[in-house]
Amino acid sequence: MKNNRNIKPKVLFFDVNETLLDLTKMKKQVGAALGGKEELLPLWFTTMLQYSLVTSASGDYKPFGHIGAAALQMVAANNGIKLSEENARKVTTTALQNLPPHPEVKEALLQLKQAGYKLVAFTNSSTEGLKNQFKNAGLTDYFDEMLSVEETGKFKPFTETYLWGASKMNAKPEECMLIAAHGWDVYGAMNAGFRAAFVARPGQQLFPLAPETEIVASNLKKVADILVTYK
């Protein structure tokens, strides 16, 4: 891929959970379902991601929320906690759809819009789930498009999924930049030909074997400050 640093990407794709939305509130809700063990949230999130990849790699597709509920049941069972499918789905739906944005997010998104960028939400969550998340978080009006991978039947970080996102926006992969707080998402995007910016939220790291990421910053405002200098 040619070096196009400091050149404006045509489209900015944003991961949603943790990148834009703060998971702190969800930690308490999931912790309550797991007998007060809030420290199990990272394990649940990792298990959810693992089985979304297993589902895609197997040529199957299940809604991300359903995978999340199943993963919650698995973590609960491993910790001697009984949790029905119905209750697990209630917990994950309530938790995922009622997350506030990180404090700097709205200011950063406005800054990027005013700089002329096209902003696209790009998530493993369902279309309905994404719409509810953004409505509840007050983020809908900042975005030009909201894309869920459910149309592709494959979750991020499958290469085909990023290429589909670029195609939906009538852009070449190299004209797109993914902004995410997950090393796996950044890695997947770059392997698909995207440029990338990593938001280094607490507890998140880049994958050491991945190519160098173009932008690395501790929050979205700092990423925006860099992008508005691009020509």
pLDDT value at position 211? Answer: 95
User: Which residues, including other chains, have CB under 8 Å from residue 42's CB and lie 6 or more apart?
Assistant: 203
Q: Return d(Cα 196, Cα 216) in angstroms, integer.
A: 9
On whether residue 1 sits in a domain, the answer given is no
Same domain for 162 and 88: no
Same domain for 82 and 124: no
pLDDT value at position 3? Answer: 63
pLDDT value at position 25? Answer: 87
DSSP 207-230: -TTSPPPSEEESSHHHHHHHHTT-
On whether residue 51 sits in a domain, the answer given is yes
Which domain, by its residues, includes 149? 11-22+99-227
What amino acid is encoded at 143 in this protein? F
Same domain for 112 and 70: no
**On the CB side of 28, how many CA atoms lie within 13 Å of its CA?**
5
In three-state secondary structure terms, 148 is: strand
pLDDT value at position 6? Answer: 87
pLDDT value at position 55? Answer: 97
Same domain for 158 and 104: yes
* Tens of pLDDT, residue by residue, the chain (231 residues): 456 778 999 999 999 999 999 998 888 888 999 999 988 988 998 999 999 999 999 999 999 999 999 999 999 999 999 999 999 999 998 888 899 999 999 999 999 999 999 999 999 999 999 999 999 999 999 999 999 999 999 999 999 999 999 999 999 999 999 999 999 999 999 999 999 999 999 999 999 999 999 999 999 999 999 999 999
Backbone angles phi, psi at 11, to 5 degrees: -135, 140
Given 50, 79, 97, the domain boundary residue is 97
Given 97, 115, 143, the domain boundary residue is 97
Residue 219's domain is classified under what CATH number?
3.40.50.1000
**Bridging pattern class, strands 11-14 and 195-199:** unpaired
On whether residue 5 sits in a domain, the answer given is no
Given 97, 120, 145, the domain boundary residue is 97
